[in-house]
Amino acid sequence: MDGLIEARVILAATALMAFAGGCERRDASSRSMVEARNTMTAVGAGGSAAAPKSTLEGGYAKVLATIKDDAGSSESVKAINAAFMGGALGGQGELAAGAFREADAALLRQIVVAKSRLSLYLEQRGLADALSGYDPNVDIAAFDGQIAEREREREAAKARLAENEAKVTGIRGQSEAKAEAARSMMASLGALRERLLEASSSDRPSLAEQLNTERRKAEGVMKESELLDAEAAKIAPISEELRLRVEQIERQISSLQKAKEQARLLSESRVASAAEASRGATQTASELAQELEAVQTTLSERVKPAFEAALSKLSQSAGKFGQARGGPDAALLSLSNGMSAQAIGSLQREYAEVLARVSSLLASAGAAKPAIPGASGWTSAAESIASEAKQALDAALQQYEKAKSSFRSGGGSAELREHVDRLSAKVNETWVRLGGAPPAEEKAVEPEPESEIPAAVEEPGMSAPASDEPAEEAPPAEGGTEQPTQGPGRSG
C-alpha cells in the first residue's frame, strides 16, 4: 500500500544498529544478538522480498524467542534487544497488514457489486414511475441516447482497461529483466570469490572490497526489480475495477434496452409494464439489502479485526523502539522510530479510506428515493462509520507528524519528509470526501539533528538501500581472528 514502510527497512536498520553495537563480544548476550541480527538480515534486510510468508513468520518468531529473556543484561544490551524486538514485531505487523489488505480487496469487490445494485434499483424505480406517467412512444429516442452514451462509456472503460493491462505487463517485464540481470551478476561473483580465497593476505582487502561492490550492484538491481513488482502490484487492482465497471455498464445497457423494448409495448400495456418494473425494483432492493448487510459483516468481522491485529503489532514495534533509547546508534533508532510511525499512520489512513468507502455506500443507499426499507438504519450506520473514519484520520495525521519529527532528529532526507507530507495530503483528501474540513496542521519547529547518519548507512528512501547490509568480509588470514558471522542476503 502506498506509503506503508515495509518492515524489512526497520529490520535493516536494527540489524546494523546491533552490528555496530558490540557484537564482537562472545558472551551469551552477544551470541544471542548475533543470532538475532543474522535472522533479521535473512528475512528482512537482504533483499528477500520474495520469501514465503511462512519463512518470514518463522524468522520473526525466532528473533523474538532468541532475545525474549535479557534479565540481568546491561542497559546497552537491553536497548539493542528492544530494537531487535521492534524490528521483528514490525515484520509481523507488515504480514498482518497484508492480511488487512486482502480483506480490504474482498470488501471492495462487495462494495462495487452493491453500488451496481443500487444503480440498478434507481433505474428500475425511475422506470416504474415513468411508465405510470407518460406515453412511452414520446421518449423512445431518449432511451436510444442513453444507450449510446453508455456504450461510449463502455468503450472508454475498455480502452483504459487495455492500457492498464499493458502497463502492468510492461512493468512486470522490466522487473523480470532486472531480476534476471541481478541473478546473472550474482552468479558471476563466484570467480571473484575463488580469487579472494586464493589471494595473498596483502591482496585480500582490495579483492574483498571489489566483491562487496559488485554484490551491492547486483542487490541494487534486484531492489529495482522488487520496486517494479511493487509498482505493478499497486496498479494491477485498477484492472479489476475497470472490468467490474465494464460489466456494470453492460448491465445498464441491457437494462436500458429492456426498458426501451418495454416502452414500445407500453401502448398496449403500460400498467402491466409499470408493475413489472416495480416488481424488479422491489427484488433489486431486497438483493441490495442483503449485499449491504454482507458489506457491513465483512467490515466488522474481517477487515476491522485484521486492521486491529496489524495495528497492534506495529504499535508494539513502535513501543519497543521507544524502549531502545540509549542504543549504540541514535540516528538509526530515530529513523526506525520514524518508519514505525509512518507505517502506523499509513495503516490508519488506509483503514479510514475503507471506512469512507463503506460510509459513502450506506449513505447513498439511505438517501435513495423512493426510500428502501431499512434506509434509516443505513443512514445511521453511515454516520457512525464516518465518525470512526475521522478518528482514524486524526490518528494518522498524528503519526505522520511523529514520523517527520523522528526523521528530522535522525537526519532523514528532505525527500523522505516530503513523502510523509504527501501522505498527510491524502488524509486531508479523505476528510473532504467524508464531508468535513481537515484539522488545521500545526507548524512543527525544525529541531537540529541529534546526530549524523553513520557512514555505513545511505540516506533512506521508501525502501531499504542495498548498502544497508554489513559489507561481506574477506576470509580470515591464516592464523587470523575469527570474523563475525554475516547475515545472509541474496548471493550467487
DSSP for 34-51 reads HHHHHHHIIIIISS-TT-
CA distance 481 to 386: 63
Angle at CA of residue 452, ends 448 and 454, nearest 5°: 160
Mean pLDDT of the chain: 74
Joined grid coordinates for residue 427: 488524509
Amino acid at 123: E
CA distance 253 to 251: 5
% of the chain at pLDDT higher than 90 = 19
pLDDT: is 202 or 304 the higher one? 304
CA distance 69 to 417: 36
pLDDT (mean) for 50-78: 71
Lowest mean pLDDT among 189-193, 216-220, 283-287: 189-193
pLDDT (mean) for 391-414: 77
Joined grid coordinates for residue 422: 504527501
Q: How confident is the model at residue 420, as a pLDDT?
A: 63
pLDDT winner (highest mean) among 10-24, 181-195, 434-448: 181-195
pLDDT (mean) for 207-234: 84
CA distance 48 to 58: 14
pLDDT digits (tens, 9 = 90+) for 141-155: 888 888 899 899 989
pLDDT: is 490 or 203 the higher one? 203
pLDDT: is 208 or 246 the higher one? 246
Does the pLDDT at position 475 exceed 60?
A: no
Angle at CA of residue 61, ends 59 and 62, nearest 5°: 65
Q: How confident is the model at residue 328, as a pLDDT?
A: 56
Lowest mean pLDDT among 151-165, 185-199, 209-223, 467-481: 467-481
Taking the whole predicted model, whether its pTM rises above 0.85 is answered as no
Residue 456's pLDDT band (cuts 50, 70, 90) = very low
pLDDT digits (tens, 9 = 90+) for 83-98: 778 888 888 888 889 8
pLDDT digits (tens, 9 = 90+) for 148-191: 998 999 899 899 999 988 988 998 898 889 888 888 888 888 77
Lowest mean pLDDT among 203-212, 353-362, 442-451: 442-451
CA dihedral 170, 171, 177, 179 (to 10 degrees): -160
Q: Is 3 within 8 Å of 455 (Cβ atoms)?
A: no
Joined grid coordinates for residue 380: 445511521
Q: How confident is the model at residue 412, as a pLDDT?
A: 52
pLDDT: is 67 or 121 the higher one? 121
Nearest CA to 275 among 261, 262, 256, 264?
262
**Helical H segments across 324-411, by residue range:** 330-366, 375-410
